[in-house]
Structure 1
């Protein structure tokens, strides 16, 4: 139900919810309840509130990871949210969870990109890209009680049963294909036997969030099993189930800081550059502790591998710089026991 737009022209947005399809966007708006129309560049977005947090629903206007990464990156740059959620529908992988049912909600512990590969004379060798969701959001999602979301589902089950969906946690596969072949899905599960689903946008959003700073979580519900009998019958129900679960997660999530003093993805005015002399001193003194810093930022092994021997600290610095994360380096150095280097960075900005 739309309400009058607030008087301030640029309200703080705490959470952005992304949806690829119109039925997914509509389900999220229904789950939020009351909302205001947020005018933005000739269109109207929907903004709701949960507690003292403002939630903005942003359509992806299409499928695929390239599109989702682009829209997510723009949303992060414009609104600087603390969290980005991707909500909608997905294909289920029964081999990863034997009793998986249509309408069940999937929450990834890992988002696994399966498209990247090396082509050799003997065939393509996959090089899986793996990203993890925000651990705090994931922990909250695990604690959401069934009654907190299943009772809110407003779309009738297509099978007319009284079955209640449940939330599933595990790896979710992500690529650029609409999969309607369980043989293809089974081939992916030879490497990821515990995968619970497959979809097309989470990798792009996860990458944008990883580079941009906000906490990321995907919530999608099973609308089919990615087989030849794939159809649209369960899509509206699955979209509603996913939206209700996502809103329940946000209700349960206790964001640090009061309204207007929240922890942003990147604090406004945060420094993301330091003088060259300071960079030189910090990198020279970091020595083998660079690995602890890499662990703090969860730098994947395939990103660490190209770091040059003896120059790993400098290469790590560049890695953080291009991902707009240098403003977090003083805190990281303090956590790993190098408060001396953290002080040098902070003093350079005093």
Structure 2
């Protein structure tokens, strides 16, 4: 594995990296002092791991630039004559540079460390090595969200010691971590957000993660709309079954368009559904989840509802369309945009399919009053409930 360090001062972070890498087998280390030298190096050799200081000069001998490392990476993304690095780690001892660059690194799934210790750096480099050791490392749990902000943020707030990573020849950014079960056992987890909302993008991502990582559990969390009277703001909806409410034939009746529905349904595994229904009745975990939210929350108690959740291609603000969806299944409790795609991706994996589970919490009621006010609370409750299920009820 080839590691390239870009730092204008070898005695600083470059020396620390060299000390960490020296103790690892199969690692080759190279060092350059400027963006220009780094580009020259990567035109002839493919770098497995690029570790760079944020404050580097464009050329040796010139003044350092506060975000020089970020500028180098932006340039790499535009150039076709440079061999792109497999993974990237950014380092800085300067908080100003860190704050200016953390969103850039995070959006690409790259790690950025502020004044790291030797132990922190060693842990992260080891994780990057693990990711490159095999094209398709296995994980016990795969988690998908539709929104990088809010929904994925709620997942990354779970106590899984997350590390960002990328895999060769894969455009997706991933987060890998470890779940500690109630009995002390450890399970590996990988999470990713789709590039956009909707069944197509999410189903593609979920299918890819099933094929690459062979998870035992494929889960999705996030936000959904509730059918009024079936759930309240923040309530946790567990999809069983899910279907594409727009599936069928669009025809004309008396000069008006009419949808003749023909939805195929994807159901939760009966054993899992029964277990969650029992937990819902007992209200286990719910008061704890509600009390621990640091932000605006509803005045009513948190509940879990297992039932039909419809998926569609549009964001709904139309009560008439909600009525149409309820005509397909009168017991519908929620409407969102991805559940059917995720559950279908798991189902079509065949006999070795993962258990699929879609947990989404209510942030609106699919009417003109909808807004984003309750999304943080809804994303939080769905992620926290998944955490409790994974920790105590999925790996008996």
Shorter-chain TM band: 0.5 to 0.7
What residue number does 2:305 align with?
Answer: 168
Structure 2 contact 286–302 (Cα < 8 Å) conserved: no
Residue by residue, what CA displacement relative to the aligned partner does 1:17-66 show, whole Å, maximum 9, x if unpaired?
00011210110111244223333347652222223211111111211111
Q: Cα gap change, 1:157/1:180 in structure 2, threshold over 3 Å: closer, same or farther?
A: farther
Picking from 340, 364, 381, the partner of 1:241 is: 381
Measured after TM superposition, the shift of residue 112 of structure 1 is 2.1
Long gaps (5+) in structure 1: 257-350
Distance 1:39 1:79 in 2: 13
Question: After TM superposition, which residue ranges in structure 1, 4 or more long, deviate above 4 angstroms?
Answer: 41-44
Measured after TM superposition, the shift of residue 119 of structure 1 is 3.2
Residue by residue, what CA displacement relative to the aligned partner does 1:109-153 show, whole Å, maximum 9, x if unpaired?
210211111234423311112110233333333344545254245
Greater C-alpha Rg: 2
Distance 2:324 2:298 in 1: 33
Distance 2:213 2:271 in 1: 21
Measured after TM superposition, the shift of residue 194 of structure 1 is 1.0
Structure 2 contact 234–298 (Cα < 8 Å) conserved: no
1:112 maps onto 2:243 in alignment: yes
After TM superposition, list the pairs within 5 Å mapping 1:89-128 onto structure 2. Answer: 89-95=223-229, 97=230, 100-122=231-253, 123-128=258-263
Distance 1:237 1:70 in 2: 27
Q: Cα gap change, 1:143/1:39 in structure 2, threshold over 3 Å: closer, same or farther?
A: farther
Of 7-16 and 109-118, more deviation after overlay is shown by 7-16
What residue number does 1:291 align with?
Answer: none
Distance 2:201 2:173 in 1: 20
What residue number does 1:73 align with?
Answer: 207
What residue number does 2:141 align with?
Answer: 15
Please, what is the CA RMSD of the aligned residues? 2.4
What residue number does 2:333 align with?
Answer: 196
Distance 1:63 1:140 in 2: 29
1:39 maps onto 2:166 in alignment: yes
Measured after TM superposition, the shift of residue 84 of structure 1 is 0.5
Distance 1:93 1:101 in 2: 9
Q: Cα gap change, 1:149/1:243 in structure 2, threshold over 3 Å: closer, same or farther?
A: farther
TM-score (norm 1): 0.66
What residue number does 1:141 align with?
Answer: 276
1:48 maps onto 2:177 in alignment: yes
Alignment partner of 1:189: what SS?
helix
Structure 1 contact 149–244 (Cα < 8 Å) conserved: no
Distance 1:178 1:171 in 2: 18
Distance 2:278 2:163 in 1: 29
Distance 2:298 2:321 in 1: 30
Distance 1:203 1:139 in 2: 20
Q: Cα gap change, 1:219/1:160 in structure 2, threshold over 3 Å: closer, same or farther?
A: closer
Residue by residue, what CA displacement relative to the aligned partner does 1:137-195 show, whole Å, maximum 9, x if unpaired?
3333334454525424554453563x331101110011101001122102221232211
TM-score (norm 2): 0.59
Distance 1:175 1:71 in 2: 17
What residue number does 1:180 align with?
Answer: 317
Residue by residue, what CA displacement relative to the aligned partner does 1:189-216 show, whole Å, maximum 9, x if unpaired?
1232211000000111111110011111
What residue number does 2:21 align with?
Answer: none
Of 236-245 and 24-33, more deviation after overlay is shown by 24-33
Aligned residue pairs total 252
Distance 2:278 2:190 in 1: 24
Distance 1:187 1:112 in 2: 14
Q: Cα gap change, 1:208/1:186 in structure 2, threshold over 3 Å: closer, same or farther?
A: same
What residue number does 2:222 align with?
Answer: 88
Of 72-81 and 131-140, more deviation after overlay is shown by 131-140
Structure 1 contact 149–248 (Cα < 8 Å) conserved: no
Alignment partner of 2:348: what SS?
helix
Alignment partner of 1:180: what SS?
coil
